[in-house]
Amino acid sequence: MNKSKEKKEILKRPPEFDLAILGGRVVDPESRTDRIADVFVQGGLIKKISPRKAKGKSGPEVRVKEVIDAKGKIVVPGLIDMHAHLREPGREDEETIYTGSCAAVAGGFTSVCCMPNTEPPIDNQEAVKFVYDKAKEAKCKIFCVGAVTKAQKGEELTEIFDLVQAGVVAISDDGKPVSNSQVMRNALEYCKMFNLTVISHCEDTNLSSSGVMHEGLVSTTLGMNGIPSVAEEIMIARDLKLAEFTGGRIHIAHVSTQGSVDLIREAKRRGIKVTCETTPHHFTLTDDAVKTYDTNAKVNPPLRTRKDVAAIKKGLRDGTIDCIATDHAPHSVEEKEVEFDFAPFGMVGLETALGLVVTELIKKRILSWPQAIAKLTTNPSRILNLKSGRVKKDFPADLTIIDPKASWIVDPAKFKSKSKNSPFGGKKLRGKVCYSIVDGKIVYP
Amino acid sequence: MKLRSRHLLGLEGMTREEINLILDTAESFKEILERPIRIVPTLRGVTVVNLFYEPSTRTRISFELAEKRLSAEVVSFSANTSSVRKGETLKDTVRNIEAMKIDMVVVRHQCSGVPYFLTQCLDSSIINAGDGAHEHPTQALLDLFTIKEKYKEIKGLKVVIVGDIKYSRVARSDIWGFTTMGAKVAVCGPATLMPYEIEKMGIEVYDDVDQALEGADVVNVLRIQLERQEGGLLPSLREYTNKFGINIDRLKRLNENFTIMHPGPINRGVEITPEVADGPYSVILNQVTNGVAIRMAVLYLLSGGEAKVE
């Protein structure tokens, strides 16, 4: 058969694949793939990954419904944000599961874990069902994190077995610490039965008390109440001891200080089952951002010092820090446009996270692409026992396609999130999301 | 010469020339205050609003007198922040006030950064009359004025600030002001009331008051508030008085011709003994007198004034 005849033959056949992503650099941390390849999707699953031969020759011709030319782009597993606040139920004026999912896919995230500190908190099976019901409308996959204690009061454990049956992927009282060590011990022990991770918001609230920013020279000159680094580190030290003692699985949320990184590195060396995350703002900004009283830079844990940022980057590089999570925390303009002391903590992050990872970590050679992508996919997937997070045959076709060279200026007014509380407005970022794909369907743009 | 900013938010970042301009201008106003008719038409037609979200006697009266003696139109508003919080936001309140056509706002607030916040939502000139534990620039300016009046030259003096440094906006403004003018500044107080990394502000830090006073020229004694004891930062006021109280005995360590200052209000018998507060070296009442002249100078310069006042 000559070439044109062969082509005609192919055209007669029904399409074999729904979607083909051709010629992109496929980075899959789990399989240690980092090469130019074509990815074929059928029925919501990845069905074929064919590496390109040298000199960029295309593979055998096949019929597909839709083709994405990914030349010059990076194709990665759909990003997973293991720590976001989607505010539903309770504060739908700030974000809903739907608007949060729109922000997520615009930022390259195809899976988002929503924290349970809603109003009311996600502390029972009905509440979890409510979240999953709302999630049916969402543009990305939503995974629910359940509360550790009833009403997040830090006193009695929730019905964790019930929560697990309803589909929670972890438990956390995030937003608040579990201050009572006995309660934390019980949670770690109980969760062993379900191989469930306890995500810990580490804060000694006696030490942080009325603090509104990092305690250091900047808080001293501004005359603002400080949150000392030790308020975080003491609780991390306690949780590491409890994890060691119980054999439970602990995940430390939003690590922000040098001391915290050191404690976790040491614990990992000793074989304690601990994982942790940091946020883009904690590896990008310092407490200098608070000097202009920008309430969008008011976040908990607070932005720390240059020394801490350097330690966070080192921890990301040497693997002490497993994940990068956004801690996406939407707040309304009215709530943030007040005296610094009275503003709530938190900033949105779903739409700037990838750009900050590329700009601050990859372009500055702190992490390679596979290392960075692992912290946004494989690692959270492993910690939460998810199926997503890999480019692998017969696995869900959750994919993100990134233009690594494109640069853009952050404009919070254009965010898909309902809230615009970002301190990154005007910042130039590298790395732009071209496509977000969930179960083989293009959900962004 | 003019000030670079149309607001006075703090002394951090202000140059020696700017501070001297304010001090020199205040000197002219002080002369006016000694005349039989203590009023000038300088700010006729200018409307000043005093927004006091925190109780204040001396600073508020001082500002009001300064404004009235410059012939400004004055409106004063005082509110308890907590009651205001329930309803209207600060931004709405001040934008409503500005909508009534005003030129300058003098603001006192319990939260650090409120004067800066007002510059972001208003067109008026903003004067900080004390924001949280951040700055109280007119207090530090009147301290500088009082010291310059006595010694002629601030440069080279050793100034010790004693007391609750952590929660003191006066301490911070004084640190910026005195160091900018070339004085050597030390702070002294209980370790629990000493803010973290304050030594990085370029000053000496002591927890032994006798050591701190050694060879000092000026002692600024800060008020100790009862709340500090309640908050667990001080075991008792009695213990504070024993360890840090300024009494006659401790004055021996100071240089000849020393000066005692206090920004008020005084807790007699706690941070300072009555004999010291009322002693011949005390300039506490001069500070209050000079406060009006300093505030007149600040209002005048921020409203665009530059030439010497007549």
Please tell me the predicted confidence (pLDDT) of residue B307: 47
pLDDT at B225: 79
* Dihedral sign of CA atoms A204, A206, A209, A214 in order: negative
Active site residue A327: yes
User: What ipTM, to 2 d.p.?
Assistant: 0.92
Catalytic residue among A123, A239, A327, A403: A327
Residue with tokens 């840090």: B244
**Is B135 in Cβ contact with A337 (below 8 Å)?**
no
**Whats the size of chain A, residue-wise?**
445
Closest CB to A223: pick one of B89, B133, B200. B133
Provide φ and ψ at A114, rounded to 5°: -100, 135
Please state, in angstroms and rounded to a whole number, the distance separating the CA atoms of residues B289 and B283.
10
**What would the mean pLDDT of A204-231 be, rounded to a whole number?**
96
Residue B226: what pLDDT?
75
Band the pLDDT of A54: cuts 50, 70, 90: low
Contact A340 B112 (CB under 8 A): yes
- Residue with token string 């020394």: A307
Mean pLDDT of A414-421: 97
| Domain residue extents for chain A | 78-390
Are A311 and A256 contacting, i.e. CB atoms less than 8 angstroms apart?
no
Equal fold, B16-136+291-302 vs B137-287: yes
Distance from CA of B7 to the nearest CA of A (A): 15
Peptide bond into A14 cis (omega under 30): no
d(CA A436, CA A122): 28
Distance in angstroms (rounded) separating the CA atoms of residues B48 and B102:
6
Q: What's residue A2's pLDDT?
A: 59
Beta pairing, strands A170-172 & B47-52? unpaired
Domain segments of chain B as ranges = 16-136+291-302, 137-287
On whether the CB atoms of residues A32 and A80 are closer than 8 A, the answer is: no
What are the residues facing A274 on neighbouring strands? A250
CA distance A270 to A371: 23
Which amino acid type is present at position A203?
E
What pLDDT, on the 0 to 100 scale, is given for residue A160?
97
- Please give the Cα distance from B228 to B148 (Å, whole number): 33
Which residue of chain B has the CA closest to A215? B196
Place of tokens 């040497």: A318
The helix (H) or strand (E) run that includes residue A145 is strand A141-146
Q: What is the pLDDT of residue A59?
A: 53
The mean per-residue pLDDT over the stretch B288-300 comes to 97
Cis bond upstream, residue A29 (ω within 30): no
The token duo for B254 is 């100071």
Which tokens hold the place of A28? 């899959």
Q: With CA atoms as reference, report the closest residue to A262 among A226, A298, A308.
A: A308
Q: What is the DSSP letter of A47?
A: E
* Fold adopted by B137-287: Rossmann fold (3.40.50)
Give me A81's structure tokens.
């944000």
Residue among A354, A295, A336, A299 at smallest CA distance from A93: A336
**H-state helical runs in A91-159:** 97-106, 125-135
* Cα distance between residue A152 and residue A26, in whole Å: 41
**How high is the mean pLDDT of chain A?**
95
Which sign does the torsion angle of CA A195, A201, A202, A205 carry?
negative
Residue A36, chain B, CB below 8 Å: the answer is: no
What is the CB neighbour count within 10 angstroms for residue A246?
20
Judged against a pLDDT cut of 90, whether residue B230 lies above it is answered with no
Name the one residue in this structure whose structure tokens are 């020229």. Answer: B217
Alpha carbon of B259: minimum distance to chain A alpha carbons (Å): 26
Nearest CA in chain A to B134: A223
Determine the distance in angstroms separating the CA of A19 from the nearest CA of chain B, rounded to an integer: 51
State the Cα–Cα distance between residues B296 and B142, nearest whole angstrom: 11
| pLDDT tens, residue by residue, A87-117 | 999 999 999 999 999 999 999 999 999 999 9
Of A224, A292, A338, the CB nearest to B132: A224
Whole-model pTM over 0.90 = yes
Q: Is the pLDDT of residue A332 over 90?
A: yes
What confidence category does residue B38 fall into, taking pLDDT thresholds of 50, 70 and 90? Answer: confident
pLDDT at B55: 87
Fold of B16-136+291-302: Rossmann fold (3.40.50)
Q: Is B278 exposed, middle or buried (0-12, 13-18, 19+ CB in 10 A)?
A: middle
Among B197, B200, B228, B233, which would you mutate to test the A interface (most chain A Cβ atoms within 10 Å of its Cβ)?
B197
Considering only residues A5 and A41, tell me which one the structure prediction assigns the higher pLDDT. A41
The CA distance from B176 to B155, in Å, is: 13
Identity of the residue in B89, B113, B197 whose CB atom sits nearest the CB atom of A216: B197
pLDDT reported for residue A36: 94
Token pair recorded at residue A374: 């692992």
* Mean pLDDT computed over B238-249: 95
CA A109 from centre of chain? 8
The CATH number fitting domain A78-390, selected from 1.10.560.10, 3.20.20.140, 3.30.1510.10, 3.40.1440.10: 3.20.20.140
- The pLDDT tens digits for A336-373 are 999 999 999 999 999 999 999 999 999 999 999 999 99
Q: B196 CB contacts (<8 Å, ≥6 apart)?
A: A215, A216, A217, A219, A220, A226, A228
